[in-house]
């Protein structure tokens, strides 16, 4: 399986285009800015999972296009929490749901390995005129 394409804004933050400026490209921006509020169609049982994920989410590359993936991750997490209360790992669906949750968390950059692929945000421009000296 081929490696997923790295978003251009992530490549730019990593400095990849400084080394190879001829490879500069623009990706689509997504549908708009990321909204941390849960969608209306998300079941109320999944709202705590949505809020739990959003608080911990690396928002550097998130847009409103990612809300569906986040909703699926919240459903999986709510299901894992529910199954954990009902019998935990002995439940027949627990393993499959846990694997699906892991996949969604990797897609959202919420595992240690996935975070290594997301660059740290660069600090903003300093208001001190002598800060770069």
The DSSP bridge partners found for residue 33 are 63
User: CA 49 to CA 53: how far, in whole Å?
Assistant: 6
The DSSP bridge partners found for residue 63 are 33
Write down the pLDDT at residue 133.
59
Write down the pLDDT at residue 1.
73
Q: From residue 28, how far is each of 9, 63, 106 by CA, in Å?
A: 10, 11, 21
User: CA 19 to CA 11: how far, in whole Å?
Assistant: 11
Dihedral sign (CA 125, 56, 58, 39): negative
Write down the pLDDT at residue 129.
63
Write down the pLDDT at residue 121.
61
User: CA 44 to CA 7: how far, in whole Å?
Assistant: 33
Write down the pLDDT at residue 123.
57
Write down the pLDDT at residue 102.
92
Per-residue pLDDT of the chain (133 residues; tens, 9 = 90+): 778 778 777 788 888 888 888 888 776 666 678 888 999 999 999 999 999 999 998 777 788 888 899 999 999 999 999 888 777 777 778 888 889 999 999 888 888 777 777 766 655 555 666 655 5
């Amino acid at each position: 399986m081929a490696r997923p394409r790295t978003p251009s804004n992530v490549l730019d933050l990593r400095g990849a285009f400084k080394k190879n400026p001829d490879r500069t490209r623009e990706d689509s921006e997504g549908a708009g800015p990321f909204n941390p509020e849960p969608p209306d169609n998300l079941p109320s049982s999944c709202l705590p999972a949505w809020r739990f994920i959003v608080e911990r989410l690396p928002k550097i590359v998130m847009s409103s296009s990612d809300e569906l993936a986040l909703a699926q991750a919240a459903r999986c997490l709510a299901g894992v929490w529910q199954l954990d209360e009902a019998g935990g790992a002995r439940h027949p669906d627990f393993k499959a749901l846990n694997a699906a949750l892991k996949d969604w968390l990797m897609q959202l950059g919420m595992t240690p390995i996935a975070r290594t692929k997301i660059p740290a945000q660069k600090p903003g421009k300093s208001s001190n005129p002598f800060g770069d000296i």
